[in-house]
C-alpha cells in the first residue's frame, strides 16, 4: 500500500511540474507566476527535483522539425504564426505528457543521478573511486554493492580498491577491479572503452571478452560487434574539453550537438572540412565562433537554441 501511495505522489508532483512548464513556456507567465513557481519548488525537495528533470526532458524533446517551423516563421500570415505558437506550446507540453504516460521510462525519471544537456558531474565515492557523468545521462548507483546501472548517456569510472565493480547496461555488463573504464550507451548500441586495468565484458547474449587498456568494444543487439583501439583524447569531456585532431567537421558537430540544448544544423557541404584543436565545453557558443573564425563557415543564429552553419559565401 505504501509503494502505491509513493507512486501516486510521484505522479502528482510530475503532473504539477508539467503544468508549471506549460505556463512558463506559454509566454504568458507573469512575474507573480515565476515567484509562485519558485515557492512551489522550495516547498519540498521532490518538487525541485521534478522541475529539474522535466527541464532536462524539455531540452531533449522540445525542438520542432526545422522545415515545419521555418516555413511558418518565414511567412507573414498571422494565422500561420498563431499555429506555430500553438505547436511550440505543444512541443513544450509533449515531454510532460510523455513523462506521465504509461510509456514513460520510469527508470530514467527516477534515476539516482542524472545530468541535463550540457551538464557534467564528477563524484568521489566513499571508497575513493571517481565517477564522471557526461551530458544528458542517467544512472542508478549502489556504491555499497559496487554496482552502477547506466540507463542512458555516458560515464567514466576510475575504480579504487580491489573488490570488483560492475557496470550494467541494456547491452551487457563490465566487471573490473582497480582500473578505469568509460561506457557510452546510445540508442541500441553501447561502447566500453578501457583506459587502465583489465575489464571482463559480458554481453547480454552471453558473449564474453577480456578488454585491455586502449581497447574499445561496441555492443549492439546484445552482441559484441567490433573491437578497436581508441584515442584517449576522445575522453577529454571529463575535464570539460572537446578535442579534435584533423577531424571531419561533420563528426565534430555531431559530438558538439550532444552538449547544446536546442537545434544545431549544418549544410552537408561542410561535412568534409577538417578541425583541429581543444575546445572548452563550458561555452559552446564560443566554440561555434571559433569555428567561424578558422574555417570558411558562417554561423546563423535565429536564437541561441536554433543555430545553422553554412558555407561562407565568396566575395567576388
Q: Report, as an integer, the average pLDDT of 4-15.
A: 62
The model's pTM: 0.68
Q: What does the CA dihedral 51, 52, 54, 59 come to, rounded to 10 degrees?
A: 140
Over the stretch 185-203, which tens digit does the pLDDT of each residue have? 987 899 999 999 999 999 9
Nearest of 24, 27, 53 to residue 37 by alpha carbon: 24
Domain ranges of the chain: 2-109, 113-234, 240-311
CA distances to 97, 115, 180, 181, 261 from 54, rounded to whole Å, are 10, 12, 32, 30, 14
- pLDDT above 50: residue 166: yes
The overall average pLDDT reported for the chain is 80
- pLDDT above 90: residue 157: yes
Give the pLDDT confidence score for residue 77 in this predicted structure: 44
User: Does CATH number 3.30.300.30 belong to domain 240-311?
Assistant: no
Q: What are phi and psi of 142, to 5 degrees?
A: -120, 90
Looking at per-residue pLDDT, the higher value among 147 and 31 belongs to: 147
pLDDT tier, 4 (very low <50, low <70, confident <90, very high otherwise) = very low
100 contact partners, CB below 8 Å, separation of at least 6: 11, 14, 15, 18
Give the pLDDT confidence score for residue 3 in this predicted structure: 44
Which of 75-84, 140-149, 233-242, 265-274 comes out lowest in average pLDDT?
A: 75-84
Looking at 3.50.40.10, 3.40.50.2300, 2.60.120.1440, 2.60.40.1120, the CATH number of the domain 113-234 comes to: 2.60.120.1440
Give the pLDDT confidence score for residue 115 in this predicted structure: 87
Over the stretch 265-279, which tens digit does the pLDDT of each residue have? 999 999 999 999 999
CA distance 142 to 167: 10
Q: Which residue has the cell 515557492?
A: 39
pLDDT tier, 58 (very low <50, low <70, confident <90, very high otherwise) = low
CA distances to 214, 221, 264, 295 from 309, rounded to whole Å, are 34, 35, 8, 11
Give the pLDDT confidence score for residue 75 in this predicted structure: 40
H or E element that contains 156 = strand 147-159
CA distance 138 to 30: 33
Amino acid at each position: 500500500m505504501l509503494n502505491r501511495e509513493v507512486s501516486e505522489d510521484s505522479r502528482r508532483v510530475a503532473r504539477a511540474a508539467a503544468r508549471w512548464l506549460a505556463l512558463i513556456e506559454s509566454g504568458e507567465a507573469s512575474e507573480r507566476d515565476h515567484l509562485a513557481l519558485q515557492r512551489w519548488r522550495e516547498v519540498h525537495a521532490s518538487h525541485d527535483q521534478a522541475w529539474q528533470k522535466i527541464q532536462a526532458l524539455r531540452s531533449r524533446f522540445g525542438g520542432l522539425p526545422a522545415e515545419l517551423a521555418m516555413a511558418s516563421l518565414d511567412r507573414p500570415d498571422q494565422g500561420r504564426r498563431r499555429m506555430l505558437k500553438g505547436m511550440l506550446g505543444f512541443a513544450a507540453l509533449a515531454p510532460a505528457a510523455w513523462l506521465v504516460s504509461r510509456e514513460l521510462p520510469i527508470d530514467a525519471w527516477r534515476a539516482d543521478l542524472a545530468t541535463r544537456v550540457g551538464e557534467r558531474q564528477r563524484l568521489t565515492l566513499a571508497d575513493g573511486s571517481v565517477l564522471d557523468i557526461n551530458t544528458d545521462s542517467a544512472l542508478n548507483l549502489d556504491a555499497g554493492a559496487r554496482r552502477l546501472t547506466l540507463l542512458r548517456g555516458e560515464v567514466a569510472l576510475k575504480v579504487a580498491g580491489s573488490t570488483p565493480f560492475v557496470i550494467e547496461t541494456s547491452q551487457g555488463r563490465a566487471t573490473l577491479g582497480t582500473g578505469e573504464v568509460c561506457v557510452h550507451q546510445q540508442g541500441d548500441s553501447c561502447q566500453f572503452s578501457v583506459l587502465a586495468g583489465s575489464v571482463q565484458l559480458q554481453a547480454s547474449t552471453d558473449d564474453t571478452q577480456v578488454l585491455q587498456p586502449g581497447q574499445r568494444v561496441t555492443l549492439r543487439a546484445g552482441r559484441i560487434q567490433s573491437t578497436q583501439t581508441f584515442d584517449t583524447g576522445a575522453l577529454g569531456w571529463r575535464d570539460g574539453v572537446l578535442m579534435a585532431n584533423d577531424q571531419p567537421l561533420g563528426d565534430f558537430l555531431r559530438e558538439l550537438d550532444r552538449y547544446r540544448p536546442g537545434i544545431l544544423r549544418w549544410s552537408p557541404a561542410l561535412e568534409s572540412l577538417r578541425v583541429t584543436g581543444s575546445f572548452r565545453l563550458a561555452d559552446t557558443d564560443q566554440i561555434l565562433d571559433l569555428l567561424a573564425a578558422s574555417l570558411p563557415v558562417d554561423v546563423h543564429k535565429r536564437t541561441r537554441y536554433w543555430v545553422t552553419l553554412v558555407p561562407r559565401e565568396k566575395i567576388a
